[in-house]
Amino acid sequence: MTLDRTRDALTQLFYRGGSIVLFVLLWQLACSAGLAPETFVASPVVIVETLWSYILDGSLYRHSVVSLSRAFYGFILAVAVAVPLGFMLGGWFKSFERIMGPLLTFLGQFNPFALFSVFLLLFGIGEVSKVAMIFWVAIWPVLFNAALGVRTVDPLHVKLARSMGMGRIRLLWKIVIPSSASFLFSGLRLAAATAFFMLIPAEMMGASRGLGWLIINAQVNYQIPKLYTGTLVIVVFGLLIDLLFKLLEKKVVVWKEAKVL
């Protein structure tokens, strides 16, 4: 049984990683053969060399810490606001849902790129505007998924809990939150990914540090290897964050579902 599981795991790893390895090899061959001009495309070898130089001189660490801090603060603020609003919007408070539901749905449709000027006027070009932009794009996935999770709670569970004399707060903690945990984590994963990838446009506004600034600066100065390296680092961070939330979801959601049962 263990041997079969190991073989299946290796097979899955091959299928998942084989296409990526093949793509990188073809990319390198195209650059080496001159099919991809160096003025527009950096080869994987050059990108790795540039990345290694960033690691050695400490610049990768400095820019990463700044960007991760901005993404973290924007994401945490979004979660702190969106989760309570989402549970209220999901029908837990009928009056709030009727009054605020249409407004929140309307605001969620705003394109964040169209609000750049508004954020600059309100918060200036400092750190607040960058965190505010990340907050704006991260709040909606959490809010709407939390609301959807509340709406999918089995009414029989709620009626049974109320018949046993369970109060609203305890009902929320024991029934509603566990039953909607999978939807909530979907919103958190999407919000985390969106918050991190929003760093590039957010750090275009008066920034002098950060991975987004690194990419924009490389673009302006036509430093192609640095441009690709910065992009690669952001992609890797995004994948790692998504993987972290997937692992956390597997542990938390199973516990929450068991709590409901």
The reported pLDDT for the residue numbered 76 is 92
Q: How far apart are CA 217 and CA 208, in angstroms?
A: 9
**Mean of pLDDT over the chain:** 80
Q: In this predicted model, what pLDDT tens digit does every residue of 168-227 receive, in sequence order?
A: 667 766 777 777 777 888 888 888 888 877 777 777 776 778 888 888 888 888 888 888
The reported pLDDT for the residue numbered 83 is 86
Report residue 199: phi and psi, to 5°: -60, -35
Q: How far apart are CA 161 and CA 178, in angstroms?
A: 14
Whether 77 shows a pLDDT value over 90: the answer reads yes
40-44 long-range contacts, CB within 8 A, separation 24+: 40/224, 41/224, 41/228, 42/224, 42/225, 42/227, 42/228, 42/229
The reported pLDDT for the residue numbered 259 is 47
pTM above 0.85, yes or no: no
Q: In this predicted model, what pLDDT tens digit does every residue of 43-75 receive, in sequence order?
A: 888 889 999 998 898 888 888 888 888 888 999
Residue 113 CA to chain centroid, in angstroms? 17
The reported pLDDT for the residue numbered 14 is 66
* Burial zone of 93 (CB within 10 Å; 0-12 exposed, 13-18 middle, 19+ buried): middle
Structure token digits, residue 53: 């130089």
Residue 240's alpha-carbon distances to 37, 72, 190, 199, in angstroms, are 31, 14, 13, 16
